[in-house]
Amino acid sequence: MIWIAVVLVFVAVYLSWTAGRLDRLHSRLDAARAALDAQLLRRASVAQELATAGVLDPASSIVLYQAAHAARQAEEEQREVAESELSQALRAVFAEDAQVDVVREAPGGEAALGELTEAVRRVPMARRFHNDAVRAARALRRHRKVRWFRLAGHAPFPMAFEMDDEPPAAFAARVG
């Protein structure tokens, strides 16, 4: 009888430890998602600000503004697509070094370009941290003990954030 009690206590402690670990992973996932959202918002805001600054040609300004606005206003289900379209718009607008030079030569252009370059550089890192947290949480949630004892509770299954986050070629030297 004592051995059964010892085994039950051991199992209870182990399950409690696993549930705590899963809770910490979910907290880490929430923090990584918040950081990713902040970086995506920063990138869209800087792109939108640059599009309205008057340093780009009208066509480029419209393309960049619409993509940035769509990324900022996108519903959660459409967020990955809208952010990918912003990445594509950034690559289209800054496809050539000449466009970067035009922005750089404008008053305040060097600072705006530096801020955009930094925002573009941080998005893939934030996305990588988020997706690493998703992978870790998924790996633990796939264990039988977690499923059988429902240790995840009612937390939704973590989903990776997949988007095109390749920087413009003209930023390659500055981003790399």
Give pLDDT tens digits for 139-164: 999 999 999 999 998 889 999 999 99
Q: What is the pLDDT of residue 176?
A: 42
Q: Could you tell me the residue range of the domain that residue 52 belongs to?
A: 2-175
Total-model pTM: 0.90
pLDDT reading at 173 higher than 60: no
DSSP 3-state of 155: coil
Name the amino acid, one letter, at 67.
Answer: A
**Residue 164: how many other CB atoms lie within 10 Å:** 13
pLDDT reading at 86 higher than 80: yes
DSSP 3-state of 140: helix
* Number of structural domains found in the chain: 1
Please give the distance of CA 16 from its chain centroid, rounded to a whole number: 31
Q: What is the pLDDT of residue 6?
A: 93
- Spell out the alpha helix ranges (H) of 52-78: 58-73
Q: What is the pLDDT of residue 169?
A: 87
Q: Which two tokens stand for residue 154?
A: 């009612």
